[in-house]
Amino acid sequence: MNDIAMCSNPIGCKVSDQCRRALEFPDKWQSYLIGDPIAGSKCSHYWKVPMNPIKKNTVLYTKDGRRFSNAIVTVSAAGGFKIKTDYGNEVVINREAIKANFYIGNVARKDHKHYTK
């Protein structure tokens, strides 16, 4: 169970893709912040999530299943990444597109179906 108050309205927030209060998965006892915590352009409840490095076998969780399914990084290079989706599709993608379309997870276990040696 998560013991944090989640953001009740992350839509339109400029930092919601980097804030733990917006990214956490709720459970049945979840509490939410009341009202709009943004005063001017700054949120008084911002809780920065450290960005995981993107390297080979990093799991990517989709933000919108209509565009991509979950994926795993199969090749990591300076200019971009090759990812393989749950459906087996391979895509070449850059860091900005990964940040826009996925939540960055941890490195997959060796028994992951698309783990790359």
| Interval 31-55: pLDDT, tens | 777 766 665 567 777 777 766 678 8
> So what's the pLDDT on residue 71?
93
Rounded CA separation 87/60 (Å): 13
Whole-model pTM: value is: 0.55
User: What are the residue ranges spanned by the domains of the chain?
Assistant: 5-43, 58-107
CATH topology of domain 58-107: SH3 type barrels. (2.30.30)
Name the residue type at position 18.
Q
Average pLDDT of span 12-31: 73
Cβ contact 95:80 at 8 Å: yes
User: How many residues make up the chain in this entry?
Assistant: 117
> So what's the pLDDT on residue 92?
93
Rounded CA separation 89/67 (Å): 12
> So what's the pLDDT on residue 1?
41
Q: 10 Å Cβ neighbour count for 95?
A: 13
The larger pLDDT score, comparing residue 80 to residue 82, is at 82
> So what's the pLDDT on residue 90?
92
Q: Please work out, in degrees rounded to the nearest 5, the angle formed at the alpha carbon of residue 20 by the alpha carbons of 94 and 47.
A: 110
